[in-house]
Structure 1
Amino acid sequence: MPSRTKVAVGGVIGALALVGAAAVATAALSVIVARKVIVPPSRREEDVAVRSVDLEAGLIVLDSTPDSRLRGEYSFWFARETGHARVGEIVSATATSVTRRIVGVDVGDLRTAKRGRLTGWFYLTPADLEVPYDHVEIATPLGDAPAWLVPASDGPSTHWAIHVHGRAVRRPETLRAVPIFREAGFTSLVVSYRNDGEAPRSDDFRYALGDREWLDVDAAMRYALSHGATELVLVGWSMGGATVLQALTRSTYSDKVVGVVLESPVVDWIAALDFQVKMRNLPVFVRSFVILLYKHPWGRLFTGLAEPLDIDRLDFVTRAKELDRPVLILHSDDDGFVPSTASRALALARPDIVTLEAFDTARHTKLWNYDRERWEGAIRRWIAKLPSAQRRTNSALRES
């Protein structure tokens, strides 16, 4: 073989080898990303360093991060989530540190904390709200799942709100919304769902991004209706937003839903995956491979999913025309995990039913913490416009 031909063949083989190596690397990255999204984490990253704690002065000094620089009150988890404190407003800040007030320490010795993470939870149980509540069990397809039942402020009510938390967290995340609904005459059902660490596990122990979790919300809807509810509002946080939208469009009880509230929601998983890929500076093809892994039966070999996910059904920007109930979306443009672009697109597609309360600086599921008055006001005004709220007002006027 002439030398030039050998060089050419060698070049082609080398190029194919490089292409093959790149394809393998992209596929490997895709598997890692796909699993990271759907595998429940054993523990969360402690991403904020603690510089000092002065319990007598009631001050904690943290490294400066996008979350630690936010105004407001937050949960601070430490000691691998065995410790919990509540931190308040910023006292002072430098380019590298933030000093905040300590509102209280619920569990653990904060003085020994070296690292931790800030979340928006703030309340750990309904007892922190200083309201009456009961522990109840919801009969889901996988078994009984614990829930909190918080009655309306004026007693038994036929109007119920079902609160659904997000990915990799638990029920307490949603407690911030309970007082507003309680004040408005709603009984609140704060639920758990499969694979969240409280409800029963699925056989594959994988999140389905709302594609199967909605069945547990459906069970909660059935529970509410069998215990006196005649009208429901579904309240979903983050992935809980995707879950309640599935319940709204797939449950046999959906005709009882009078409205939906979405906090930092995933309304389009493809947009969310795009954002995560770009944020990590990964090849653009990773997102496409991840979707293939979720959608096709052979993907289970790499993801561990028991059955494929219907990603297209989880896109409510494309499915906007199918929605027919009032929707309130609260989302911050600097979310950092779930982009607000899809929320904005849904609001643009359905201005007749979707109300968007857009923040610019509040991060993911921390809007209440950042500006409680604005957040609660938005929900209060939205509730007042519901047909059921107007009927209650008219009924009260007639009785008076």
Structure 2
Amino acid sequence: MSILARIRQINRRRALGWAAFSYAVAVLSGAFLGAEITLRSKTRRVKGEFVPVGRRGNSVYLPASSETLSRGVVGIVPLLPNQGHALLGPPRLVGTLVRREILEERGVLPNGALAWVSTFVYNGTPQQVGISYDSTLIRTEVGQMPAWHIPAVSGEKDAIAIVIHGHGGQRPQALRMLPALRRSGVAALFVTFRNAHGAPRVGKGYLSLGDQEAEDVIAALHWARDAGYRRAVLYGFSMGGNIALSALRPRHQPYPIPVAGVALDCPALDWRDTIRSNGQRYGIPGFMARHIGNFVQYLVTRRSGQDFDVVDQLAAASSFNLPIVLWHGTRDATIPIRQSDALAAARPDLVEYHRVEGAKHIRCWNIDPEKYDAQLEAFVRRVLPGLPSPSLNSPLSLQGDSNA
């Protein structure tokens, strides 16, 4: 009997039933996984790869991978032996290897070392950038949140930047921008929030995608006031951007100290859109991604009580009243760039928008560090007039403080 004849003998109703069952299982499995990632995602280590290093003079040769081939600047930390840190320039494929030139080097990156390489550039503390800092704790209603305090170069307690990492992220991811913040004249407070790695667990450990985490940012402003600071800017990455904007809601005002502006790097502005987009990111057909996305939202709400309207920053855009500087990469596969496009279009009176061609999620700095740093410094000095003008090294400098 031919294959066609066998197919004709199959009971169509039974086949459709099995197909529907299989589809439902796939959708539900994807939704349960998506809900778990949405609610609990956190990592112990900064994302990167471990690779062997070949070095000739100022050139470094690495195995080809998605990380080592990434556009723009990457950081590399030798593990065996651990003798320093270096910034590497853009990649060039040489046979089966990736060649990058050393832009800045602190310590020694030896030939033959096993090293961590990452587009997040740093994986340690501000000391890795050569900058002195204090580890501190932010007192909140749910516990003590760990933070790094980096005083201003001038020593004055005038203005401070509250730096907020993202979903599943860690504080080292923003160390790339610390030298620029220092040059702008502000102090910095790198904070974390409830249910993130290293922070207190609250309830079942579920994230609220920016809503309750904003309370921890308000607590950081209280800390800054008690430490003697008089004004602040908020600086959020990915979900940290949503947290920063959630802190602008009327229920959090008046602030402990005035907030003069907000910096956003690839912010998550619409979680419904983000969840749907991440389904399609893994090759799931559009119609299935929509179904999975809808079930993820349902499961998240059922498990945690999440109100997606509360963290919809595009819907809240008309209520914002502070200057915003915004970066987003055109190759961002985590948070669709259309969200930042929409915010910039909705509030051109407030938003200074930098649409970075070729940048992945929170990798805008890597494409052109000097340009990004200049934009950040100019924004900080615009919204916080009267800051001192410290004289530091170049935008890529790893030298930091002379006494570090």
- Does the pair score TM above 0.5? yes
| 1:46 Cα deviation from its structure 2 partner | 7.3
Which amino acid in the other structure matches residue 232 of structure 2?
L
Change (3 A) 1:346 1:205: same
Pair 1:84–1:367, CA change in 2 (3 A): farther
1:69 aligned onto 2:70: yes
Normalised TM-score (structure 2) = 0.80
Write out aligned runs for 1:47-86 (5 A): 50=51, 53-54=54-55, 59-65=60-66, 68-75=69-76, 86=86
> Hey, what's the Cα distance between the residues in 2 that align with 1:84 and 1:130?
11
Unaligned runs of 5+ in 1: 1-6, 301-306, 394-400
Question: C-alpha separation between the residues in 2 aligned to 1:110 and 1:275?
Answer: 42
Q: 8 Å contact 2:166–2:240 — kept in the other structure?
A: yes
Aligned counterpart, 1:293? 299
Distance 2:111 2:277 in 1: 35
Asked whether the 8 Å contact 2:329–2:357 carries over to 1, the reply is: yes
Indicate yes or no: 2:122 matched with 1:122: yes
Task: Report how many residues are paired.
Answer: 373
1:122-141 deviation line (CA, Å, top 9, x unaligned): 36222234344222211122
Asked if the contact 2:39–2:300 (Cα under 8 Å) also holds between the matched residues in 1, the reply is no
Conserved? CA contact 2:324–2:350, under 8 Å: yes
Q: Is the 8 A contact 2:51 2:117 kept in 1?
A: no
Relative distance call for 1:262 and 1:183 in structure 2 (3 A) is same
Q: Does structure 2 retain, via aligned residues, the 8 Å contact 1:67–1:363? A: no
Q: Which position in structure 2 is the counterpart of 1:237? A: 237
Distance in 2 separating the partners of 1:357 and 1:365: 13
Structure with a larger share of its residues in helix = 1
Distance 1:392 1:116, change over 3 A: closer
CA RMSD of superposed structures (Å): 3.4
What CA distance in whole angstroms lies between the structure 2 residues aligned with 1:22 and 1:107? 54
Gaps of 5+ in 2: 1-7, 389-404
**TM-superposition CA deviations, 1:176-207 (whole Å, max 9, x none):** 33333333332211112223322222232233
- Structure 1 residues 59, 317: CA separation in 2 closer, same or farther (over 3 Å shift)? same
- The CA deviation at 1:346 is 0.3
The residue identity in structure 2 corresponding to 1:161 is A
Distance change (3 Å), C-alpha of 1:17 and 1:201: same
CA distance in 1 between partners of 2:188 and 2:215 (Å) = 19
> How far apart are the structure 1 equivalents of 2:50 and 2:253?
48
Q: 1:109 to 1:338 in 2, by over 3 A?
A: farther
Q: Which residue number in structure 2 is paired with residue 276 of structure 1?
A: 278
Matched residue, 2:201 = 201
Cα distance in 2 for partners of 1:28, 1:35 equals: 11
Letter in 2 for 1:228: G
Matches of 1:76 and 1:338, distance apart in 2: 28
- 1:65-112 residue CA offsets vs partner (Å, 9 max, x unmatched): 376231223256989xx9995451246414754122466698999947
Deviation at 1:25, TM superposition (A): 2.2
My pick for the range that moved more, 324-333 or 156-165, is 156-165
- 2:180 aligned counterpart, secondary structure: helix
Conservation of the 8 A alpha-carbon contact between 2:68 and 2:98: no
Kept in 1, the 8 Å contact 2:67–2:118? The answer is: no
Distance 2:327 2:268 in 1: 11
CA 1:86–1:213 in 2, change beyond 3 Å: closer, same or farther? farther
Q: TM-score, normalised by structure 1?
A: 0.81
- The residue identity in structure 1 corresponding to 2:318 is K
Q: Is the 8 A contact 1:150 1:188 kept in 2?
A: yes
CA contact (8 A) 1:68 1:118 kept: no
The residue type equivalent to 2:295 in the other structure is F
Ranked by relative contact order (alpha carbons within 8 Å, sequence separation 6 or more), the top structure is 2
Deviates more, 1:161-170 or 1:197-206: 197-206
Contact 2:46 2:173 (C-alpha < 8 Å) held by counterparts: no
The change in CA–CA distance for 1:30 and 1:85 in structure 2 (over 3 A counts) is farther
Q: Which amino acid aligns with 2:293?
A: R
Q: Quickly say closer, same or farther: Cα 1:362–1:51, change in 2 above 3 A.
A: same
Of 347, 352, 359, 1:350 maps to 347
Q: Is 1:48–1:65's contact at 8 Å kept on the other side of the alignment? A: no
Question: By how many angstroms is 1:357 displaced?
Answer: 0.9
1:149 CA displacement: 1.3
